Amino acid sequence: MVLLISTYDLGRQSFGLASAAAALKAEGHDVVCVDLAKQKVDPDAIVRAEAIAFFLPMHTATRLAVPVMQRVRTLNPSARLIAYGLYAPLNAPLLRECGVATIIGGEFEDALARAVNPAGSGAVSPVPESAAPVPRVTFRVPDRTGLLPLARYATLQAGRERRLAGYTEASRGCKHLCRHCPIVPVYGGRFRVVPIDVVIADIAAQVAAGARHITFGDPDFFNGIKHASAVLDAFARQFPGTSYDVTIKVEHLIEHEDRLPMLVQTGCAFVTSAIESVDDRMLAALEKGHTRADFERVAVRFREIGLALSPTFVAFTPWTTLDGYCDLLQTIDRLELVDHVAPIQLAIRLLVTEGSRLLELRGIRDVLKPFNARSLTYPWAHADPRVDDLQKAIEAIAGVTLSAPRPDVFARVWDLAHAAAGIESTMRAQPPLASRATIPYLNEPWYC
């Protein structure tokens, strides 16, 4: 038996477990899936497992997995431990210390199936370390039969209506090389499209299970614009009345501005876009491919066509200043985006992980401390302690007031930041806005 474990996946039913289960079952393996964010693992399942694989799609999931690996080794020292997902190769040395024998990156399905021998053999075989860094996999419809129901996970709040939300992927990887992105060290500018019939079949299974909203988890949905358009055409025809959300770079929102009405027409509830900063020097350093002016252009265009933009930010970096942070808040306010920004985005601190292209920046190592195996990052302290103090204060507000109205949280952050910078904190009066309840959002706001 193979035990698949997810520790955290942004409050959604884990695609990484479902897709892995499909690949393993196709090879005849018995599979048990456990989502530790929502349930406890049965110790007997750990003891019976011949192989135990941890899905590590993000930083938080990896940190949470480490102590579980230690417990698993105690209960079943003979089981082969496997780690797969974006953050597995990024943290290979630490995972090896935790007893992980096989480490697999983003295209994991076939390698995971090869790592475990046919059911009943009682043995496992390793995946060659020399395997291509971004192999092509056999795409199968994810098998969600062993997962908890969608009702246990994050939902879309659309006005007064709450919709069960599913998740799928129409492409993987990314052809861009943003310095701070964890996808870059694993995919190196490559991306893969998932066959449309596989995508639609996965959505169909989730709609049959009650989903009325789908998150497309592609790192950038417009990486392959023809493929994306074909997916949305099929989606709209087969699932009328079902909404969706996507993630798209500012660069692509401008390049393919003519496709934005298509998003509205096919049921897009909102578009997430990694804005990161309104400082052009910072954007250039991160190689984001857009400028402040580009962001402002997109925000205005979205408002014109009635499409919700959900910006994300890396608000605190070693180069953030108090004045610059206030400028960020003022820009959000001026662009009428206060209700669109999850409060936690106002507190996000730059993570410098192993393998990050941030390590290429001149002078970056001067501000970094040695790699911390507990946090899985290179810690840093700001040269101006007031900036770090402000970040901690804002994180305390945003992290414990998840259900508070966004304008109320924003006002508290505004006052704190302007007081710290010694700037008059009178907020700019905005035009009358639609109620927060009319702006669709997923009720799981964490990001990494």
pLDDT, one tens digit per residue, over 349-360 is 999 998 899 999
In this prediction, residues 185-207 reach a mean pLDDT of: 95
Q: How many helices (H) and strands (E) does the chain have?
A: 17, 14
pLDDT in tens, 77-86: 999 999 999 9
302, HSE (Cβ side, Cα atoms, 13 Å): 27
Query: Quick check: 60 and 34 in contact, CB under 8 A?
Result: no
Separation of alpha carbons 365 and 370, rounded Å: 9
User: Mean pLDDT in the chain?
Assistant: 92
Among the listed residues 276, 361, 259, the one whose alpha carbon sits nearest the alpha carbon of residue 311: 276
Q: What is the pLDDT of residue 119?
A: 45
Separation of alpha carbons 137 and 116, rounded Å: 16
Separation of alpha carbons 14 and 32, rounded Å: 13
pLDDT in tens, 311-331: 999 999 999 999 999 999 999
Q: What is the pLDDT of residue 117?
A: 64
Amino acid at 381: A
Q: What is the pLDDT of residue 428?
A: 62
In this prediction, residues 45-69 reach a mean pLDDT of: 96
Least confident interval from 120-129, 136-145, 201-210: 120-129
pLDDT for residue 437 is more than 70: no
The pTM (predicted TM-score) of the whole model is 0.93
Task: Please report, rounded to a whole number, the percentage of residues in the chain having pLDDT higher than 90.
Answer: 84
Separation of alpha carbons 116 and 20, rounded Å: 12
- Supply the angle between the helices 225-238 and 196-208 in degrees, to the nearest 10: 30
pLDDT in tens, 267-294: 999 999 999 999 999 999 999 999 999 9
Residue 404: pLDDT band by 50, 70, 90 thresholds?
A: confident
Identify which has the larger pLDDT, 205 or 121: 205
Measured in Å, how far apart are the chain's first and last C-alpha atoms? Answer: 31
Q: What is the pLDDT of residue 134?
A: 76
Q: What is the pLDDT of residue 128?
A: 41
Separation of alpha carbons 261 and 238, rounded Å: 19
Residue 56: pLDDT band by 50, 70, 90 thresholds?
A: very high
Residue 220: pLDDT band by 50, 70, 90 thresholds?
A: very high
Q: What is the pLDDT of residue 123?
A: 42
pLDDT in tens, 27-42: 999 999 999 999 999 9
pLDDT in tens, 89-139: 999 999 999 999 999 998 999 999 999 864 444 444 444 443 446 788 999
Residue 444: pLDDT band by 50, 70, 90 thresholds?
A: confident
